[in-house]
Amino acid sequence: MLGLLSLLAVLCFHFPELLTSHEFRAVYSEQFARHLLLAGLVAAFVLGTLAVLRDRGRRVALLGVGSATLAVLLGGTNVKFDAIGQTPYSLGMDWFVLSLFFSALVFVPLEHYLGQRRMSPLRNGWRTDLAYFFMGHVLVQFILILVTASTSTVAALAAFPALKSAIQSLPVWAQFLLAVFVADLTQALLHRAYHNIPWLWRFHAVHHSSREMDWLAGSRMHLVEIVLTRSVVLLPLLMLGFSQPAVNAYVILVGLQAVLAHANLGIRFGWLEYVLVLPRYHHWHHARHGEWIDANYAIHLPLVDMLMGTFRLPRDGSWPQEYGVMKLETVPRGIVRQHLMPFRRTRHYDDHVR
Ligand SMILES: [Zn+2]
Ligand SMILES: [Zn+2]
């Protein structure tokens, strides 16, 4: 992984206009990226060589060392570039590389030592989920454009100036808490619709098709669902006029909590499980069990489910036996077939829906 990510990083240095996103570049410095690339290359060589010497996963190790070598041959950390020009469209390859690197760095050891189940990061379906992770990050700009286009006009039409100024007079932390509640309530109502309306369930079934739950599994989401959910959730935040720092803090929280909620973490959180959505809470939402098909829609605050009457959490600290949709055969494997699946006419999904 380090070898391949290093190779992609070198390509980002060669083609910054095309492969890196203007918005995300503002978050990190060129120096930081070069240092990290150097560390990644060294680690890929050392770990790959050790694996070959110990005869463990030789093919994978050679792939890693090979791609790190190619990265060095292509210029490594010394690739020079001029001022980065503005392009109408670019990919978020830098966002993908950095996000995957740091998520894996945090969650792979955490899940290994504190996992609720023992499983390899390379479990069944990891390629599919990694492909979703790749798509969601690399296409970030296009997703953003679609979300902005669909929300800005509606938000401009439905404006409540008095309410807006009342909200903006609140301190940022209060705006943030209110934004999280409003966004989660909207998300949970839409989420419940995904589970109850057959044609919406077709899209959401993709997310529920993961048979194994870990930090990467949450990435599995149909592109239509990504755009629709983000637009619908962003709409009330824009209409109510929350300040930019409050919305930004909310967006960061969504990113973290959506990954955390799917993670394979067996830590006991006690009463905190009733205040915040944590892995066990969302894992029950993914349970492959007839009695659990209408529960735990929130992604931030269990309070939202309590208000909707859909809050459920076993008091004994137990976890689901199995994850996935009720009829496994209705969702195909692989990102391409899963993206086509909702548009096929022949299948009947109605019996999945409550
Ligand atoms: Zn769901
Ligand atoms: Zn989920």
- Gap from CA of 285 to ligand 1 centroid (Å): 6
- Gap from CA of 207 to ligand 2 centroid (Å): 6
Three state DSSP letters for 156-205? HHCCCHHHHHHHHCCCHHHHHHHHHHHHHHHHHHHHHHHHHCHHHHHHHH
- From the CA of 200, the nearest ligand is 1
User: What mean pLDDT is predicted for residues 71-91?
Assistant: 85
- Gap from CA of 284 to ligand 2 centroid (Å): 10
- Gap from CA of 214 to ligand 2 centroid (Å): 10
Q: Element (H or E) spanning 51, and its range?
A: helix 30-53
Q: pLDDT-based confidence at 81, cuts 50/70/90? A: confident
Check: CB of residue 101 under 8 Å from CB of residue 5.
yes
- Gap from CA of 349 to ligand 1 centroid (Å): 15
Question: Long-range contacts for 153-156 (Cβ within 8 Å, ≥24 apart)?
Answer: 154/235, 154/239, 155/235, 155/238, 155/239
Check: CB of residue 283 under 8 Å from CB of residue 178.
no
- Gap from CA of 82 to ligand 1 centroid (Å): 46
Check: CB of residue 266 under 8 Å from CB of residue 115.
yes
- Gap from CA of 149 to ligand 2 centroid (Å): 26
pLDDT higher than threshold 60 for residue 352: no
**Which two structure tokens, joined as six digits, stand for 319?**
């976890």
Terminal CA-CA length for the chain: 41
- Gap from CA of 69 to ligand 1 centroid (Å): 43
User: How many CB atoms lie under 10 A from the CB of residue 103?
Assistant: 18
Tell me how far CA of residue 166 lies from CA of 109, 235, 243, 256, 317, in angstroms: 45, 18, 11, 29, 42
Check: CB of residue 163 under 8 Å from CB of residue 238.
no
Distance CA 248, CA 26 (A): 14
The pTM assigned to this predicted structure is 0.91
- Gap from CA of 167 to ligand 1 centroid (Å): 31
| pLDDT tens string 22-58 | 888 888 898 999 999 999 999 999 999 999 899 888 8
- Gap from CA of 97 to ligand 2 centroid (Å): 23
- Gap from CA of 325 to ligand 1 centroid (Å): 10
pLDDT higher than threshold 70 for residue 19: yes
pLDDT higher than threshold 50 for residue 125: yes
Q: pLDDT-based confidence at 156, cuts 50/70/90? A: confident
| pLDDT tens string 196-212 | 998 899 999 999 999 99
Distance CA 191, CA 182 (A): 14
| Residue type present at position 124 | N
Distance CA 14, CA 133 (A): 23
User: What mean pLDDT is predicted for residues 280-295?
Assistant: 93
Distance CA 49, CA 45 (A): 6
- Gap from CA of 262 to ligand 2 centroid (Å): 6
Q: pLDDT-based confidence at 131, cuts 50/70/90? A: very high
| Residue type present at position 47 | L
Q: pLDDT-based confidence at 77, cuts 50/70/90? A: confident
Q: pLDDT-based confidence at 298, cuts 50/70/90? A: very high
**CA nearest neighbour of 187 among 221, 146, 234, 219:** 234
**Which two structure tokens, joined as six digits, stand for 81?**
């570039």
Q: pLDDT-based confidence at 148, cuts 50/70/90? A: confident
What are the structural domain ranges in the chain?
Answer: 2-88, 140-352
The per-residue pLDDT of the chain, averaged, comes to 91
Which residue would you say has higher pLDDT here, 21 or 135? Answer: 135
**CA nearest neighbour of 297 among 213, 204, 187:** 187
| Residue type present at position 278 | L
Distance CA 261, CA 274 (A): 14
Amino acid 176: pLDDT:
96
Distance CA 93, CA 71 (A): 15
Amino acid 87: pLDDT:
79
Q: pLDDT-based confidence at 348, cuts 50/70/90? A: low
User: How many CB atoms lie under 10 A from the CB of residue 150?
Assistant: 17
- Gap from CA of 168 to ligand 1 centroid (Å): 33
Amino acid 304: pLDDT:
97
Instruction: Give the ranges where 89-138 is alpha helix by DSSP (H).
Output: 93-114, 126-138
- From the CA of 263, the nearest ligand is 2
- Gap from CA of 178 to ligand 2 centroid (Å): 23
| pLDDT tens string 323-337 | 999 888 888 899 999
- Gap from CA of 322 to ligand 1 centroid (Å): 15
- Gap from CA of 218 to ligand 2 centroid (Å): 5
Check: CB of residue 188 under 8 Å from CB of residue 178.
no
